[in-house]
């Protein structure tokens, strides 16, 4: 169903993105530091479910719109590649802008349900899935919905694995994230370069 070369690139990029500190990891970190490992784990599971909801919704919409239109499929892929390059440039340029990591301390809502709501209501998650995953989908390799669903699930699972590690090791990881500005800058720059390279690779390889 998948081209082995592109699937390998997808996994490598998804892993790099999963381990880069972002809003999801910082949300789980905040819940873990405030409420302990249980809250952190429940928050991680909540964001996992929320991520899957995004994947299913995006897969359904993409498959309906693109199933019969090669032109629309190409437009989505090139627009997505351009957006990935834009995000990569933003991450590199903004790497040194924020010297503080904002850690959320929320103690009211059930962490599992709040994790779902936090993820589902984040439009950037949906936009990212719609720009990232279509780069690895081929109309010639079967159902667009199934391909998107599998790749999206793999991506969400990798993100959740990182979240769970943060939840279980919140103390030392939290201290390092809060203290090491240089580490955060390097990670954001590396991730930005990865996204630019990914967007450029897909755009130029598809143009051949």
Condensed to tens digits (0 to 9), the pLDDT of residues 162-183 reads 999 988 887 666 666 556 666 6
pLDDT of residue 141: 76
Average pLDDT score, the chain = 79
For the segment 3-28, the average pLDDT, to the nearest whole number, is: 83
The rounded distance, in Å, linking the Cα atoms of 22 and 158 is: 14
Residue scoring higher pLDDT (152 or 194): 152
State residue 88's pLDDT score.
Answer: 81
Q: What is the dihedral of CA 164, 165, 168, 170, to 10 degrees?
A: -110
What ranges do the domains of the chain cover? 4-207
- The Cβ of residue 31 has, within 10 Å, a number of other Cβ atoms equal to 32
pLDDT confidence band for 154 (50 / 70 / 90): very high
At residue 176, the pLDDT reads: 65
Percent of the chain's residues with pLDDT above 70 = 80
What's the pLDDT band for 105 if we cut at 50, 70, 90?
Answer: very low
Buried b (16+ CB within 10 A) or exposed e, 152-167: bbbbbebbbebbbbbb
Higher pLDDT, 86 or 2: 86
Does this model's pTM top 0.85? My answer is: no
Average pLDDT of span 1-17:
85
Q: Residue range 148-165: average pLDDT? A: 94
**Token pair recorded at residue 198:** 């990914």
CA distance linking residue 111 with residue 94, whole number of Å = 30
- Alpha-carbon distance values, 142 to 3, 62, 132, 139, 190 (Å): 12, 14, 19, 6, 33
pLDDT band of residue 140 (cuts 50, 70, 90) is confident
pLDDT of residue 32: 82
What was the pLDDT predicted at 33?
Answer: 78
């Amino acid at each position: 169903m998948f081209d082995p070369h592109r699937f390998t690139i997808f996994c490598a990029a998804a892993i790099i993105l999963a381990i880069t500190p972002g809003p999801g990891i910082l949300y789980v970190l905040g819940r873990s530091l405030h409420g302990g490992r249980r809250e952190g784990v429940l928050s991680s599971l909540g964001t996992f479910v929320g991520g899957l909801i995004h994947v299913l919704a995006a897969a359904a919409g993409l498959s309906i719109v693109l199933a019969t239109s090669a032109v629309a499929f190409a437009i989505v892929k090139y627009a997505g590649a351009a957006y990935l390059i834009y995000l990569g440039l933003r991450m590199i340029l903004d790497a040194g802008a924020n010297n503080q990591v904002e850690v959320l301390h929320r103690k009211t809502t059930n962490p599992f349900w709040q994790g779902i709501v936090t993820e589902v209501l984040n439009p950037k998650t949906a936009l990212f899935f719609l720009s990232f995953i279509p780069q690895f989908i081929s109309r010639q390799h079967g159902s667009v919905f199934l391909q998107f669903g599998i790749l999206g699930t793999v991506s969400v699972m990798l993100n959740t694995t990182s979240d769970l590690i943060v939840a279980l090791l919140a103390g030392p990881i939290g201290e390092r994230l809060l203290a090491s500005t240089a580490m955060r800058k390097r990670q954001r720059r590396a991730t930005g370069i990865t996204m630019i390279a990914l967007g450029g690779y897909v755009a130029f390889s598809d143009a051949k």
